[in-house]
């Protein structure tokens, strides 16, 4: 069986073929090229955002687990209406403002054990590539200028609307939208390049002074990093229209080749059954949950365990259940580590492990069904516990099971393997002291290295107004 993924563009489950040409063996495929829409760095990301980011992480981890190599980019939107407004309000430069929230975002990714991807392009560093797209569109007569801004004329791009299925709706050709986001009922020409308003940062371009619209940055970065059609583009379902629709229009009209092979969209997250909103009081950043005492592992587990095409109802009850589930896994790891009796390998244990890996893979291969995969994982835990109960697992077998857990944790990222070296409180605090000193000296590389060292040992640092706190990851 092979990996299949639901493609939003075709609305079908499709076999996954990186590069578009089937190969005999997985290792013969070229690296899987993935582009994920990243955060707009104007504030703290909320747990709804992190559902998508945890999914992106699972996707790349699973592809690697299956033997593919990946080449993955996620953009940092560091110029838009909100970042500009935030910098003006705080009376600092746009770069200072967005650097602050970019660093916070990267810290949050580490906390959730999200692997770094290969590329993190920033919008403000991709201006030339945006101008290139606009120049190509200009040559083809697909753009027009109005009040100093440049718009894409969607009526001239006949495939417009295929992704979001707005084709049969009333396209208001010639009507324009300056805001980056608008509703599905309102299909209008979108701004590629925006005339500068007072006090706004701007760039000098052949199309006049101004700054980019939101949609064009992703098209520009895909082109700069990958050069041609990519395999997978991910994002939340709320990005299908207009953002991804507009990305397709710009890129395909400019370069006359398909933009993306597989469009993969992650459903919404609800909190206690309702849409998350500040006015309902159910709006949570990752840090809000950590301060309430929930562990990053439990949060990662809960965000990961629902199928990506289903809405996820995030509840505190669910977080507690996630913590319970992790406890069951921790208990198994502890029991396996406690086994001392030596004996030759028990074939039954090896068979059980291999059967688990096979059925886990078959299940997750079916449209990335991680929910099903985790169900099978808990059956496996049950079976191994039963074997430990009946003394049929030796030290050698236990080591084999641990190696299988480590293998499957390259996908999960939430199993805790206690390190042989345990740090005591004084050692942790000495390292925090050293990190604070490094930060004062602006030696951020050293500060980050210390943070990573502690994280590896299961300790998470939180920088608060009152100073640095630490909590155990498990
Ligand atoms: Zn995007």
HEC secondary structure over the chain: CCCEEEECCCCEEEECCHHHCCCCCHHHCCCEEEEECCCECCCCCEHHHHHHHHHHHHHHHHHHHCCCCEEEEECEECCCHHHHHHHHHHCCCHHHHHHHHHHHHHHHHHHCCCCCCCECCEHHHCHHHHHHHHHHHHHCCCEEEECCEEEECHHHCCCCCCCCCCCCCCEEEEEEECCCCCCCCCEEEEEEEECCCCCCCCECCCCCCEEECHHHHHHHHHHHHHCCCEEEEEEEHHHHHHHHHHHHHHHHHHHCCCCEEEEEEECCEEECCEECCCCCCCCCEHHHHHHCCCCHHHHHHHHHCCCCCCCEEECHHHHHHHHHHHHHHHHHHHHHHHCCCCCCCCHHHHHHHHHHHHHHHHHHHECCCHHHHHHHHHHHHHHHHHHHHCCCCCHHHHHHHHHHHHHHHHHHCCCCCCCCCCCCHHHHHHHHHHHHHHHHCCCHHHHHHHHHHHHHCCEEEEEECCEEEEEECC
Residue 167 to residue 161: CA distance in whole angstroms: 5
pLDDT number for residue 354 = 97
Task: Kindly state whether residues 10 and 102 are assigned to the same domain.
Answer: yes
Task: Kindly state whether residues 263 and 130 are assigned to the same domain.
Answer: yes
Provide the pLDDT confidence category of residue 1 given band limits of 50, 70 and 90: low
Task: Kindly state whether residues 230 and 339 are assigned to the same domain.
Answer: no
Q: Is residue 50 part of a domain?
A: yes
Mean per-residue pLDDT, 90-101: 96
Q: Is the pLDDT of residue 262 over 70?
A: yes
Q: Is residue 392 part of a domain?
A: yes
Q: Is residue 152 part of a domain?
A: no
pLDDT number for residue 470 = 76
Q: Which protein residues have a CB closer than 5 Å to ligand 1 (ion)? A: 37, 218
Q: Is the pLDDT of residue 472 over 90?
A: no
Task: Kindly state whether residues 29 and 131 are assigned to the same domain.
Answer: yes
What is the whole-number distance in angstroms between the Cα of residue 395 and the centre of ligand 1? 50
Mean per-residue pLDDT, 46-67: 98
Provide the pLDDT confidence category of residue 474 given band limits of 50, 70 and 90: low
Domain count of the fold of the chain:
3
Task: Kindly state whether residues 126 and 221 are assigned to the same domain.
Answer: yes
Find the range with the poorest average confidence among 235-249, 265-279, 438-452.
Answer: 438-452
What is the whole-number distance in angstroms between the Cα of residue 247 and the centre of ligand 1? 7
What is the whole-number distance in angstroms between the Cα of residue 364 and the centre of ligand 1? 26
- Residue 323 belongs to a domain with what CATH number? 1.20.120
Range of the domain at 390: 315-418
What is the whole-number distance in angstroms between the Cα of residue 248 and the centre of ligand 1? 11
Q: Is the pLDDT of residue 59 over 90?
A: yes
- Rounded to 5 degrees, what are φ and ψ at 471? -135, 160
Mean per-residue pLDDT, 287-302: 93
pLDDT number for residue 60 = 98
Mean per-residue pLDDT, 150-163: 91
Mean per-residue pLDDT, 449-473: 77
Q: Is residue 174 part of a domain?
A: no
Task: Kindly state whether residues 237 and 336 are assigned to the same domain.
Answer: no
Task: Kindly state whether residues 370 and 446 are assigned to the same domain.
Answer: no
Provide the pLDDT confidence category of residue 180 given band limits of 50, 70 and 90: low
Q: Is the pLDDT of residue 277 over 50?
A: yes
Between 172 and 302, where is the model more confident?
302
Residue 18 to residue 31: CA distance in whole angstroms: 8
What is the whole-number distance in angstroms between the Cα of residue 431 and the centre of ligand 1? 38
Task: Kindly state whether residues 265 and 347 are assigned to the same domain.
Answer: no
Q: Is residue 157 part of a domain?
A: no
Q: Is the pLDDT of residue 214 over 80?
A: yes
What is the whole-number distance in angstroms between the Cα of residue 30 and the centre of ligand 1? 24
The two tokens of residue 172 are: 């208001």
What is the whole-number distance in angstroms between the Cα of residue 37 and the centre of ligand 1? 4
What is the whole-number distance in angstroms between the Cα of residue 190 and the centre of ligand 1? 14
pLDDT number for residue 451 = 83
What is the whole-number distance in angstroms between the Cα of residue 280 and the centre of ligand 1? 28
What is the whole-number distance in angstroms between the Cα of residue 366 and the centre of ligand 1? 26
Provide the pLDDT confidence category of residue 70 given band limits of 50, 70 and 90: very high
What is the whole-number distance in angstroms between the Cα of residue 81 and the centre of ligand 1? 15
Task: Kindly state whether residues 360 and 432 are assigned to the same domain.
Answer: no
Q: Is residue 107 part of a domain?
A: yes
What is the whole-number distance in angstroms between the Cα of residue 232 and the centre of ligand 1? 13
Domain boundary among 270, 300, 333: 270
- Residue 66 belongs to a domain with what CATH number? 3.40.50.620
Task: Kindly state whether residues 112 and 219 are assigned to the same domain.
Answer: yes
Mean per-residue pLDDT, 51-71: 98
Q: Is residue 183 part of a domain?
A: no
Q: Is residue 228 part of a domain?
A: yes
Task: Kindly state whether residues 413 and 433 are assigned to the same domain.
Answer: no
What is the whole-number distance in angstroms between the Cα of residue 143 and the centre of ligand 1? 20
What is the whole-number distance in angstroms between the Cα of residue 259 and the centre of ligand 1? 13
Task: Kindly state whether residues 255 and 126 are assigned to the same domain.
Answer: yes
Q: Average pLDDT, whole number, for the chain?
A: 92
pLDDT number for residue 464 = 74
For the question of whether the overall pTM of this predicted structure is more than 0.85, the answer is yes
Q: pLDDT (tens digit, 9 = 90+) per residue, 103-156?
A: 999 999 999 999 999 999 999 999 999 999 999 999 999 999 998 999 999 889
């Amino acid at each position: 069986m092979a990996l299949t993924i639901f493609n939003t563009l075709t609305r079908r489950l499709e076999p996954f073929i990186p590069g578009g040409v089937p190969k005999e063996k997985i290792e013969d495929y070229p690296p899987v090229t993935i582009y994920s829409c990243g955060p707009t760095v104007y504030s703290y990301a909320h747990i709804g955002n992190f559902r998508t980011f945890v999914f992106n992480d699972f996707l790349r981890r699973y592809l690697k687990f299956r033997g593919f190599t990946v080449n993955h980019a996620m953009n940092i939107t560091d110029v838009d209406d909100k970042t500009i407004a935030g910098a003006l309000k705080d009376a600092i430069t746009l770069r200072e403002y967005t650097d602050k929230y970019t660093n916070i975002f990267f810290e949050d990714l580490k906390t959730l054990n999200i692997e770094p991807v290969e590329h993190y392009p920033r919008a403000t560093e991709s201006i030339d590539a945006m101008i290139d797209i606009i120049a190509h569109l200009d040559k083809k007569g697909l753009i027009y200028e109005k009040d100093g801004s440049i718009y894409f004329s969607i009526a001239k791009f006949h495939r417009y609307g295929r992704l979001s299925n707005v084709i049969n709706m009333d396209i208001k050709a010639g009507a324009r939208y300056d805001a980056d986001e608008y509703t599905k009922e309102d299909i209008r020409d979108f701004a590629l390049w925006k005339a500068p308003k007072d006090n706004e940062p701007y760039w000098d371009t052949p199309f006049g002074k101004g700054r980019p619209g939101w949609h064009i940055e992703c098209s520009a970065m895909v082109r700069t990093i990958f050069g041609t059609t990519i395999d997978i583009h991910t994002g939340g379902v709320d990005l299908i229209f207009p953002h991804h629709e507009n990305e397709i229009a710009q890129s395909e009209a400019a370069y006359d080749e398909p933009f993306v092979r597989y469009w993969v969209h992650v459903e919404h997250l609800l909190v206690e059954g309702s849409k998350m909103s500040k006015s309902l009081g159910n709006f949570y950043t990752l840090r809000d949950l950590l301060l309430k005492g929930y562990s990053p592992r439990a949060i990662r587990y809960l965000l990961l365990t629902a199928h990506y095409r289903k809405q996820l109802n995030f509840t505190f009850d669910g977080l507690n259940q996630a913590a319970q589930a992790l406890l069951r896994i921790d208990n198994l790891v502890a029991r396996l580590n406690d086994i001392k009796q030596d004996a030759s390998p028990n074939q039954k244990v090896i068979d059980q492990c291999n059967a688990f890996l096979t059925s886990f893979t078959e299940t997750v291969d079916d449209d990335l069904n991680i929910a099903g995969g985790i169900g099978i994982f808990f059956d496996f835990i049950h079976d191994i516990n039963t074997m430990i109960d009946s003394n049929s697992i030796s030290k050698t077998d236990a080591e084999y099971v641990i190696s299988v857990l480590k293998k499957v944790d390259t996908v999960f990222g939430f199993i805790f393997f206690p390190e042989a070296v345990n740090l005591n409180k004084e050692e942790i605090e000495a390292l925090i002291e050293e990190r604070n000193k490094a930060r004062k000296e602006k030696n951020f590389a050293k500060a980050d290295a210390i943070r990573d060292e502690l994280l590896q040992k299961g300790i998470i640092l939180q920088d608060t107004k009152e100073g640095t706190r630490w909590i155990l990851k498990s």
